[in-house]
Structure 1
Amino acid sequence: MTAVSLDFGDDGLVPVVAQDVETGDVVMLAYANEEAVAKTRETGRAHYYSRSRDELWEKGATSGHTQAVEEVRVDCDGDALLYRIDQTGGACHTGYRSCFYRTLDGEEVGERVFDPDDVYE
């Protein structure tokens, strides 16, 4: 089996969709650089690259709301990844199980599972 090459684009990043392996729900979209992908494969825990903080981060390292990566899939063009994950707690820093907790009209349709004020001080 030949490893798939990834296209990290001009900015060195590839978009990553995180999907709950049990429910099939998409819980977040983030970005990864080569180091984040390597750490994810090495540890089995989701690692991403924060564009706002300009640093590598492990999902849940401070909040405890972790993502165990069951499988990493690559799209047909090699320029996007799908992390199939086992989500512990909420995926969204706003306290919701998924970052996709509202409609375009602003209706909240997701489940809030924690209070961010209790987690991020």
Structure 2
Amino acid sequence: MTTLPELAFYQGLNQDLIPVAIQHWKSLEVLMLGTMSKESLILTLENNIVYLFALSRQEIWLKGEKSGVHLKVKEIRVNCNNSNLLILVDYESNICHTGSRSCFYRRLVKRDEQWVWDEIEE
């Protein structure tokens, strides 16, 4: 059985949850943000690939379950309050369900006095 060190999970939607930032281990590019439950963290540790907790579906999911693009764990870090995780990963293809390399593929820009989302060229 996998035991976890002390972490400050928060109670949300009847689950103990912790925010997670996922970053490429070499470039340090932020790929996505997510949420983990204790169970998804344990699955991640045991299998060395990222499992998250889907807030919208209220279930654990293997990142890349449908696309086959799994995130291979290189290192897991915790912040100073034990309340957020940073997971450094390696991957073989674009990880966003939109087909982009990162989930952060748009930036906020001002056009004609309006703020709009502009896609970043990859």
- The residue number in structure 2 matching 1:117 is none
Aligned residue among 106, 109, 112 for 1:102: 106
- The residue number in structure 2 matching 1:71 is 75
Q: Is the 8 A contact 1:96 1:110 kept in 2?
A: no
Deviates more, 1:100-109 or 1:47-56: 100-109
2:19 is paired with a residue whose SS is strand
- The residue number in structure 1 matching 2:10 is 9
- The residue number in structure 2 matching 1:24 is 28
**Normalising to structure 1: TM-score of the pair?**
0.85
CA deviation map 1:2-56 (0-9, x unaligned) = x741111121111100000121100000000000110100000001000111110
Q: What is the root-mean-square deviation in Å for CA atoms of aligned residues? A: 1.2
How many residues are aligned here? Answer: 109
- The residue number in structure 1 matching 2:95 is 91
2:103 is paired with a residue whose SS is coil
Q: Structure 1 unaligned segments of length 5 or more: list them.
A: 112-121
Matching residue's letter, 1:109? I
Structure of greater Rg: 2
Tell me the distance in 1 between the aligned counterparts of 2:72 and 2:58: 23
1:49 is paired with a residue whose SS is strand
Does structure 1 residue 35 correspond to structure 2 residue 39? yes
2:119 is paired with a residue whose SS is coil
Matching residue's letter, 1:44? N
- The residue number in structure 2 matching 1:115 is none
Question: Any runs of at least 4 consecutive aligned residues in structure 1 with deviations exceeding 4 A, and if so which?
Answer: none
Higher strand share: 2
Q: Structure 2 unaligned segments of length 5 or more: list them.
A: 110-116
**Normalising to structure 2: TM-score of the pair?**
0.84
CA deviation map 1:54-97 (0-9, x unaligned) = 11011111111110001110011111000100022122111100
Tell me the distance in 1 between the aligned counterparts of 2:55 and 2:38: 14
Deviates more, 1:24-33 or 1:3-12: 3-12
| Pair 110,30 (structure 1): closer, same or farther in 2 beyond 3 Å | farther
